[in-house]
Structure 1
């Protein structure tokens, strides 16, 4: 018998959201770990809020929603709020009932910016790693470190000469000091007009700009969109872009990220961040640690600092003038570290293709750093269902 195609709205629903989520859905394990981690941070959340005034969005729900945005590649908070209107899976994960009202996007972003600072993002990551099911997966002796560029939310057109009287800023080591290209034979494109045309007669358009022959550096120019972004290129043969530099410290057993950081881009940022992260993760460790890294970390000063901190530098050797000698390379664990360190690129690849870290949507070093660390925590969560199942 053929069924009828008729729509009749139900006045009441007697099916709970919990029953609508498949029993083997990966988000069930992720939600359990996140809820336990947030419960351990209850005292931290309590200290951030006063006992009077209008109630804000619960910090637990803010963090769950932010993690959900990263895990499902939702590009904006407005789109996230829109999907939470009709996506029962999103409502269940965040903790909203089927009849609960979704927040206004601007209210959500303002509450999130006040809560998710760099320190809070680090505490969330640490609480997840300290979970009773996650902690046994971690190695406490063998680590790897690397860095990646995070494109800033600023175009090259915003990289303008500094105002007269502003103190000059020296380029960081390894910065492209001057970026100039031989001028073309053809004349440059005209500059955008200073006075906008009336909308009634002309359509507003982002004018083209020709940068050929113009010398620009961090010492003489600054971005008007994000002044903390720096013009930098990590490898020869590539173009310099306005960016930040993200850093990650990975344990070598399961490849989980245990520390994250983000700094302004310069030639020494990776090595400085590596020392900060290893000291932050294992302060005053009595065990002999190992740290794998690529050739960019093969510098005499960095290797000496690691040895002083009782960390064996398993750094890939340069072809000439390497600071790593036979004392390190003759051991079997050196070759193992060189092999395992490449897995950190998987976390960076996931963060850029899924987590939205290829180009940040935020401005300012503090906001971009807190988001990058939370993205590294989300990368760990995405891998946990399979790791815990095995």
Structure 2
């Protein structure tokens, strides 16, 4: 016999357990088991008044934001609508069927004021990392670092020439994004990262970098910097910066130091691409941190005109001299040039005059000069590691950080930012990293659903 839908939905009383409607293997159950927000109210208490009408529970707003980033809901207005109709989201947010959902406008003020003043997103990220460490998902032996360009919320059609934008403006008359950028002009990740004036600047978001790094049409972007543990690809730190190499390298150093300070984790080796292979960074890793750099050396000394490159000359560290292919010695006076970064090793003119290899060595100069970076010893350490089995393993493991960025853009749909300014980019990147770690934790650590479920009668 064919069944028929009930046309009357006006039943007066219902007995309904919200938990019964959520499958036991649903992602919200696993994330709820991994997410501890018991500390939140005490942390935010100093930022709320003791008088007046009660505010929206900050835990509710945080849980709604987690839902948005975990399930790639890229609008706070849409988050509110989805929580309104989705029972699983309601259960995760500790809302009953009859409870009202906050208005989307409440998120903006909470994020820009109380959440930032209390550094809530950073503290939440660190607690999720601690949960990953406790679950055995962080090895602590090898880290990988990289950066990915994320398009900023800035329009090229409304940009101005870089030379027309002035930094000496009154912050009181500027938008929030401009105020944030003016406050970071001395920060090496932002205003002080480079003295080069960009071709275009967005007046609405001047911290966004005009870049054509993708070999296609240029656009405004921020760099999302990740430091991951290669054991299971857990993100141990995240930092926003301008989309230039100097800023990204500076962000890498910040993340490594912060991870050691916060979690007591210092890797034995760091995996990265050539962008992190400049001499100062390698020297910092080798000499100051004692970390093996599994990083290709950034080196432009190879010549393509048929003459000998620097690699054709043998360096003798015991005597601090170079030997040329003809067996002659190149010495240095010890004077640093190029703003104190380089030593010059010079051959003697009479050695070069009668040398049969002069045409292949210095055909246009009376004698040969070899520049050597003052941190060349650290570069030699990185070069020596490049041919080892461990380096080959690190090169394969570096794909894990690329997979994190692919997941960020394709699954979490963070290909373009919604928030502007350095702090807006930082908030979005940290929330996305929280979502990725929570999903990783839920996928790798099977946990039963919570014993007590929200009941509505």
TM-score, normalised via structure 2 length: 0.69
What's the counterpart of residue 306 of structure 1? 285
CA deviations on 1:62-89 (whole Å, 9 max, x unpaired) are 1111111112221211111112221111
What's the counterpart of residue 274 of structure 1? 252
Q: Residues 1-390 of structure 1: matches in 2 within 5 Å?
A: 1-9=1-9, 10-34=11-35, 36=36, 38-117=37-116, 119-131=119-131, 134-161=134-161, 166=166, 218=198, 221-234=200-213, 237-283=215-261, 289-307=268-286, 308-317=288-297, 321=301, 323=379, 325-329=382-386, 331-389=388-446
How has the CA–CA distance of structure 1 residues 167 and 70 changed in structure 2, closer, same or farther, with 3 Å as cutoff? closer
- d(CA) in 1 for partners of 2:84 and 2:167? 50
For 1:131, what is the secondary structure of its paired residue?
helix
User: Contact 2:209–2:242 (CA<8 Å) still a contact in 1?
Assistant: yes
For 2:407, what is the secondary structure of its paired residue?
helix
- d(CA) in 2 for partners of 1:42 and 1:66? 16
How has the CA–CA distance of structure 1 residues 248 and 91 changed in structure 2, closer, same or farther, with 3 Å as cutoff? same
- Displacement of 1:115 in angstroms is 3.9
- d(CA) in 1 for partners of 2:418 and 2:70? 16
- d(CA) in 2 for partners of 1:301 and 1:384? 36
User: Contact 2:22–2:88 (CA<8 Å) still a contact in 1?
Assistant: yes
Unaligned runs of 5+ in 1: 178-216
- d(CA) in 2 for partners of 1:56 and 1:167? 38
User: Contact 2:210–2:220 (CA<8 Å) still a contact in 1?
Assistant: yes
For 1:147, what is the secondary structure of its paired residue?
strand
- d(CA) in 1 for partners of 2:138 and 2:165? 52
For 1:136, what is the secondary structure of its paired residue?
coil
User: Contact 2:208–2:222 (CA<8 Å) still a contact in 1?
Assistant: yes
User: Contact 1:146–1:248 (CA<8 Å) still a contact in 2?
Assistant: yes
TM-score, normalised via structure 1 length: 0.80
- d(CA) in 1 for partners of 2:209 and 2:106? 31
CA deviations on 1:277-299 (whole Å, 9 max, x unpaired) are 00000139696631100111111
- Displacement of 1:264 in angstroms is 1.9
User: Contact 1:117–1:367 (CA<8 Å) still a contact in 2?
Assistant: no
- d(CA) in 2 for partners of 1:82 and 1:288? 44
Unaligned runs of 5+ in 2: 169-184, 302-375, 448-457
- d(CA) in 2 for partners of 1:126 and 1:15? 37
User: Contact 2:90–2:96 (CA<8 Å) still a contact in 1?
Assistant: yes
Whose Rg is larger?
A: 2
- Displacement of 1:40 in angstroms is 3.9
- d(CA) in 2 for partners of 1:101 and 1:165? 46
- d(CA) in 2 for partners of 1:174 and 1:329? 30
How has the CA–CA distance of structure 1 residues 158 and 92 changed in structure 2, closer, same or farther, with 3 Å as cutoff? same
- d(CA) in 1 for partners of 2:75 and 2:266? 44
- d(CA) in 2 for partners of 1:70 and 1:288? 29
State the aligned residue count: 346
CA deviations on 1:194-221 (whole Å, 9 max, x unpaired) are xxxxxxxxxxxxxxxxxxxxxxx626x4
How has the CA–CA distance of structure 1 residues 157 and 270 changed in structure 2, closer, same or farther, with 3 Å as cutoff? same
- d(CA) in 2 for partners of 1:132 and 1:165? 44
- Displacement of 1:22 in angstroms is 0.7
CA deviations on 1:267-318 (whole Å, 9 max, x unpaired) are 3111100000000001396966311001111111110011212222111345
Which deviates more from structure 2 when the two are superposed, residues 61-70 or residues 326-335?
326-335
